[in-house]
Amino acid sequence: MAKDWMIYGANGYTGKLVAKHAKARGHNPVIAGRNQKKIEKLALELQLDYMVFDLDDVNIVAEAIADMSLVYLAAGPFLHTSETVIKACLATNTHYLDITGEIDVFEKAFTYDEVARKNGIALIPGVGFDVVPTDCLAKHVADKLPSATHLEIGIASLTRASAGTAKTAVEWAGVGGKIRRDGILQPHPIGFDTKELRFMHGYEETMAIPWGDLATAYRTTGIPNITTYMAVPKAAITMAGMGSGIGQTLLSNGVVKSVVKQLIGAVVKGPNETHRKTSRSYLYAKVTDDQKHMAEAWLDTLEAYQFTVEASVLAVEQTLERQLAGALSPALAFGKDFVLDIGGTRRLDALDVGEWESRIGTV
């Protein structure tokens, strides 16, 4: 298989898993990062070529990736990494994929659509759990109701965060919540907009959170009103409601943010292999229109990091095989059924009440 693609941030929790999975599928990506020792060690372990460079200067990145046909970026928070790599990819006609879930990073990437089309390369941010399953599900329900004006997405992911995910959450915590109304991203306080949603494994208390789909589902479906909900324990909803103002103020302070991120780096390790292989994720999407028509669908899929690893390598393969160009969401790039190719994912358009009720109380 082709060797000329790169995983940057390969020594991170997710990057390492993706590198191992890619190798197991017969790829030989070049692995890269900014830490010589860590990258060298991983390259030796996986018997892969490696490069070491940081992401401060577009020209240096462009020189490093000049021979690559694709860069897969696993180094986040992407607020600090994505745009430099995108610019280098545009300068060298290199496809760009990443696993961001950051709304502003998606929005920024989409501004490069025209130049990416002109250069014949694809920019596809969000090829992980955030946002492949929800993006594909959003497209699926939107196609069932072309008159849809409102989209609601629910996520119940029974996993633990990795250090990078926790640091990324801290990076954006000072900004507060968001929703999309009339096509515009608007502030929306965290902890107040709550509802019970029905997933494939049962009912969950959820609260509105600023998930990446506020950017991507809008690009994929054009539906102007979007809210994304995450299943969280009731106590967390109460605490979010009471503390969101305080937490937001504290985490908008650069010094506090940096200390919290250092602590996270030392303490948070991410889910272990058993957890990744046994835990599940459940997604829900509903569209409605002005005439009270409605369409909904559900997904049952892999644990979030396991999903990210498998989706990422599949996305790389499809990008290298197809003639994709422009700044695309995953569903626009690979189609709404892409999610069904990932690890036995199941999609339902209606819940089988008999089957579902028999599972209540067992999960």
Ligand X SMILES: NC(=O)c1ccc[n+]([C@@H]2O[C@H](COP(=O)([O-])OP(=O)(O)OC[C@H]3O[C@@H](n4cnc5c(N)ncnc54)[C@H](OP(=O)(O)O)[C@@H]3O)[C@@H](O)[C@H]2O)c1
**Cα–Cα distance measured from residue 215 to residue 101, given in angstroms and rounded to the nearest whole number:** 9
First to last CA, the chain: 42
| 29 lines the binding site for ligand X (CB under 6 A) | no
| 330 lines the binding site for ligand X (CB under 6 A) | no
| 210 lines the binding site for ligand X (CB under 6 A) | no
| 76 lines the binding site for ligand X (CB under 6 A) | yes
| 258 lines the binding site for ligand X (CB under 6 A) | no
Beta carbons within 8 Å of 302's beta carbon, 6+ residues apart: 280, 281, 310, 342, 343, 344, 345
Residue 235 carries which side chain, given as an amino acid letter?
Answer: A
**Cα–Cα distance measured from residue 143 to residue 300, given in angstroms and rounded to the nearest whole number:** 20
Q: Which of 15, 154, 210, 271 binds ligand X (CB under 6 A)?
A: 15
Residue 322, SS3 per DSSP: coil
| 134 lines the binding site for ligand X (CB under 6 A) | no
Indicate the residue among 17 and 297 with the shorter CB distance to ligand X.
Answer: 17
CB of 155 to ligand X, least distance (A): 11
Indicate the residue among 130 and 296 with the shorter CB distance to ligand X.
Answer: 130
DSSP 257: H
| 128 lines the binding site for ligand X (CB under 6 A) | yes
| 216 lines the binding site for ligand X (CB under 6 A) | no
| 71 lines the binding site for ligand X (CB under 6 A) | no
Residue 357, SS3 per DSSP: helix
Residue 147 class from Cβ within 10 Å (0-12 exposed, 13-18 middle, 19+ buried)? exposed
| 83 lines the binding site for ligand X (CB under 6 A) | no
Sign of CA dihedral 198, 200, 202, 208: negative
Q: Which of 29, 101, 210, 271 binds ligand X (CB under 6 A)?
A: 101
Q: Which stretch binds ligand X (CB under 6 A): 161-169, 180-188, 239-247, 251-259?
A: 161-169
Q: Which of 5, 6, 7, 14 binds ligand X (CB under 6 A)?
A: 14
Check if the beta carbon of residue 194 is closer than 8 Å to that of residue 206.
Answer: yes
CB atoms within 10 A of CB 222: 12
Which secondary-structure segment (H or E) carries 40? helix 36-46
Q: Which of 77, 191, 326, 330 binds ligand X (CB under 6 A)?
A: 77
CB of 128 to ligand X, least distance (A): 3
| 168 lines the binding site for ligand X (CB under 6 A) | yes
Q: Which of 20, 23, 34, 117 binds ligand X (CB under 6 A)?
A: 34
**Cα–Cα distance measured from residue 320 to residue 69, given in angstroms and rounded to the nearest whole number:** 8
| 271 lines the binding site for ligand X (CB under 6 A) | no
Q: Which of 157, 308, 329, 345 binds ligand X (CB under 6 A)?
A: 308
Indicate the residue among 145 and 172 with the shorter CB distance to ligand X.
Answer: 172
Q: At what angle do helices 82-92 and 103-110 cross, to 10 degrees?
A: 20
Check if the beta carbon of residue 1 is closer than 8 Å to that of residue 28.
Answer: yes
| 54 lines the binding site for ligand X (CB under 6 A) | yes
**Cα–Cα distance measured from residue 6 to residue 62, given in angstroms and rounded to the nearest whole number:** 13
Beta carbons within 8 Å of 78's beta carbon, 6+ residues apart: 98, 100, 102, 105, 125, 168
| 35 lines the binding site for ligand X (CB under 6 A) | yes
Q: Which stretch binds ligand X (CB under 6 A): 126-134, 151-159, 282-290, 336-344?
A: 126-134
Residues within the interface to ligand X (CB under 6 A): 9, 11-15, 33-35, 38, 54-55, 74-78, 80-81, 99, 101, 126, 128-130, 162-165, 168, 270, 304-305, 308
